């Protein structure tokens, strides 16, 4: 009698292992519209060219899709508020530089036939949390009352020119004291 129970348990364990080994069949059936009582049809998500979360339109004024007109063309590396999206969206622009070919002719000028145009800059888009907007002066999302007016953001884009610079004065106390400058 005990041998029969072991046989039943062994068959049951093998069945569990087989079901666990092939989860794609189980998932596919569950995802099919109308597969069972109470199943809801899948809603197709609209593509989001800015790469924002699916619920981004709920966070934007008017609840509509985000404005896609912001371009990083001609902009340096930096963080940029997007006034067309009420500064709820901001972008990080990353200009690309082509690698220098060490075998290239050093005498070749910019009009060289082999010269390639610079690739377009990358644009990474982000949305600020609810009840905040991107403050171009501080490079962070802040409450509207703590931020500069959104429509003035382009006047502050020049602050991006300071990102990554190493020629700014030192604020290190030890360096200031050793050079004879007292704080």
Asked if the model's pLDDT at residue 66 lies above 50, the reply is yes
Asked if the model's pLDDT at residue 20 lies above 50, the reply is yes
* Run of H or E residues at 81: strand 78-81
Q: Are 65 and 46 in contact (CB under 8 A)?
A: yes
Task: Note the pLDDT tens digit of each residue in 67-116.
Answer: 999 999 999 999 999 999 999 999 999 998 767 666 665 555 555 556 67
Q: Are 148 and 136 in contact (CB under 8 A)?
A: yes
Task: Note the pLDDT tens digit of each residue in 164-174.
Answer: 888 866 555 55
Kindly tell me the number of DSSP H helices and DSSP E strands found in the chain. 4, 5
- CA separation for the pair 117, 101 (Å, rounded): 15
Q: What is the mean pLDDT of residues 11-18?
A: 59
Q: Residue 143 CB: number of other CB atoms within 10 A?
A: 10
What pLDDT does residue 19 have? Answer: 53
Range in 57-66, 125-134, 135-144 with the lowest mean pLDDT: 57-66
Burial letters 48-59, b for 16+ CB under 10 A, else e: eebebeeebbeb
Q: What is the mean pLDDT of residues 147-163?
A: 96
- CA separation for the pair 82, 154 (Å, rounded): 9
What pLDDT does residue 65 have? Answer: 87
What pLDDT does residue 81 have? Answer: 98
Q: How confident is the model at residue 119 (pLDDT cuts 50, 70, 90)?
A: confident
Q: Are 35 and 29 in contact (CB under 8 A)?
A: yes
Of the candidates 145, 144, 122, the one whose C-alpha atom is nearest the C-alpha of residue 132 is 144
Longest Cα separation, the chain: 94
- CA separation for the pair 80, 89 (Å, rounded): 9
As a whole number, the mean pLDDT across the chain is 75
Q: Residue 173 CB: number of other CB atoms within 10 A?
A: 10
- CA separation for the pair 182, 174 (Å, rounded): 10
Asked if the model's pLDDT at residue 33 lies above 60, the reply is no
Q: Are 52 and 125 in contact (CB under 8 A)?
A: yes
For the whole prediction, is pTM greater than 0.75?
A: no
Give the distance, in angstroms, between the CA of residue 130 and the centroid of all CA atoms in the same chain: 17
Residue showing tokens 């004291």: 177
């Amino acid at each position: 009698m005990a041998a029969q129970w072991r046989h039943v348990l062994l068959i049951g364990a093998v069945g569990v292992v087989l079901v666990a080994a092939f989860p794609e069949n189980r998932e596919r059936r569950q995802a099919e519209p109308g597969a069972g009582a109470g199943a809801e049809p899948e809603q197709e998500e609209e593509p989001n060219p800015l790469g924002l979360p699916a619920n981004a339109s709920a966070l934007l004024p008017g609840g509509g899709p985000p404005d896609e007109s912001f371009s990083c063309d001609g902009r340096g590396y930096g963080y940029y508020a997007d006034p067309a999206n009420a500064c709820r969206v901001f972008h990080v622009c990353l200009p690309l530089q082509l690698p220098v070919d060490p075998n290239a002719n050093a005498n070749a000028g910019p009009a060289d036939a082999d010269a390639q145009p610079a690739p377009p800059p990358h644009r990474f888009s982000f949305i600020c949390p609810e009840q905040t907007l991107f403050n171009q002066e501080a490079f962070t999302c802040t409450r509207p009352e703590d931020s500069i007016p959104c429509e003035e953001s382009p006047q502050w884009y020049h602050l991006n020119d300071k990102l990554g610079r190493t020629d700014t004065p030192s604020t290190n106390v030890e360096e200031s004291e050793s050079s004879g400058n007292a704080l």
